[in-house]
Amino acid sequence: MTTITTVEATTDRTWALMGGSAHVRMVGGTSAALDEAEGLALALEQRWSRFITESDLSRLAVADGATLTVDPATVQLLRAMLEGWRETDHDFDPTLLPAVIAAGYRRSIVDPSRATDLPPSIVARGDLEAMRIVGDAVRLPRGMSLDAGGIGKGFAADLIAARLLAAGAHGCLVEIGGDVRVAGQAPDGTAWRISVDDPFSASANRGIVRLPEGGIATSSQRKRRWMTESGTAAHHLIDPASGRPAATSIQTVTVIAATAARAEVLTKPGFLRPVDDYLAWLPTRGAAALLIDADGVERTTSNWSDYA
């Protein structure tokens, strides 16, 4: 996703992050603010990546039920995970890392030298209510691990946008791996304009979203794919009911919500529920969605046109 057609002058910066890239477009502000935002982004990756053994989430995975002190931003992420797990009736489940690895996604697609190795005791538990948080102290039950995955990208975008505004930016767009947060003044003074990618063509899009404030996230089963040992294609979107990649014709789910983290969470039921049920449910959560299936057919919630 990228913004298009600006009126007021903006400043852009792009860097590698979280297995992809981060892009910031800032209205007003200073280069020091961008430096601060990039520093925060890189620090969050160090705290949350499953490919970094000293990250907060990696340390919690091998703590064997012990209580650890983690960064305050990690506490915020864990609370967002719990809220998303509850709101989606467990369709969003960040405890599925063992299933992701079992399906064949152990190594980083960007850097195959980086791999995730979990203790044999770790299983896909799905019981986030058993997590305990007191201040910055966190205890996971034995056998649980947490994967930041998409919510980590969305939540990082939310935190970076807040940091930029606090540092004096008039407005900003922060994109991390397709998850976007916009905040403050748009370049044209009205709304940020964001293109929705076409999953079948890197050079095309499926329309323009106009968003004055909030988040938009796209989850796709077409990007992180690999071939299993049996020769079948697999993807990283795991069905909690089966522990295997979700069997669905839906290729991408794009959601607009109040924050990028919440938009990311709300994409997951789009791959798991009957389409009509999902499209009826999502507006009751204050969100809108566009789904694209394997034939390229689009389905939208009744409120998607509010952002056209």
Domain count, the chain: 2
Is there a single domain that holds both residue 187 and residue 302? yes
| Judgement on whether residues 286 and 177 belong to the same structural domain of the protein | yes
The full length of the chain comes to 308
The residues with which 163 forms a beta bridge, in sequence order, are none
Phi-psi region of 226 (alpha: psi -120 to 50; beta: other; left: phi over 0): beta
Residues 137 and 175 both lie in one domain: no
Q: Which of 106, 122, 150 is the last residue of a domain?
A: 150
Confidence check: pLDDT of 234 > 70: no
Name the β-bridge partners of 174. 24, 181
Average pLDDT, the chain: 91
Q: Are 164 and 26 in contact (CB under 8 A)?
A: yes
Record the pTM.
0.91
Within a domain: 267: yes
The predicted-structure confidence for 253-282, as pLDDT tens digits, reads as follows: 999 999 999 999 999 999 999 999 999 999
Residue 156 lies in a domain: no
pLDDT band at 231 (very low <50, low <70, confident <90, very high): low
Q: Based on the fold, state whether residues 22 and 53 are members of the same structural domain.
A: no
Clarify whether residues 262 and 184 are in a common domain: yes
CA torsion through residues 93, 94, 98, 102, sign:
positive
Exposure of 18 by Cβ count < 10 A (0-12 exposed, 13-18 middle, 19+ buried)? buried
DSSP result, the chain: --B---SS-EEEEEEEETTEEEEEEEEE--HHHHHHHHHHHHHHHHHH-TT-TTSHHHHHHTSTT-EEE--HHHHHHHHHHHHHHHHTTTSS-TT-HHHHHHTT--B-SS-TT-B----TT------GGG-EEETTEEEPPTT-----HHHHHHHHHHHHHHHHHHTTEEEEEEEETTEEEEEE--TTSS-EEEEEEETTEEEEEEEEEEESSEEEEEEETTTSEEE-TTS-EEES-EETTTTEE---SEEEEEEEESSHHHHHHHHGGGGTS-HHHHHHHGGGGT-EEEEEETT--EEE-TTGGGG-
Domain boundary among 115, 150, 185: 150
Question: Do residues 174 and 105 share a domain?
Answer: no
176 shares its domain with 298: yes
Mean pLDDT of 293-301: 96
For residues 15 and 84, membership in a common domain is answered with no
Where does the pLDDT of residue 206 fall: very low under 50, low under 70, confident under 90, or very high at 90 and above? very high
pLDDT in tens, 61-95: 999 999 999 999 999 999 999 999 999 999 999 99
User: Pick the residue with more confidence: 116 or 157?
Assistant: 157
Report if residue 274 sits inside a domain: yes
Whether 36 is covered by a domain: the verdict is no
Q: Evaluate if residue 236 carries a pLDDT over 60.
A: yes
> For the domain that residue 225 is a member of, what is the CATH number?
3.10.520.10
187 shares a domain with 119: no
User: Quick one: angle between helices 72-87 and 260-267, nearest 10?
Assistant: 40
Whole-number pLDDT of residue 235: 54
Do 215 and 133 have their domain in common? no
Domain that holds residue 280: 10-28+170-307
**Do the domain assignments include residue 3?**
no
Q: Is residue 279 part of a domain?
A: yes
Looking at residue 224, its pLDDT comes to 59
Looking up residue 119, the CATH number of its domain turns out to be 1.10.3980.10
How large is the average pLDDT for residues 99-113? 81
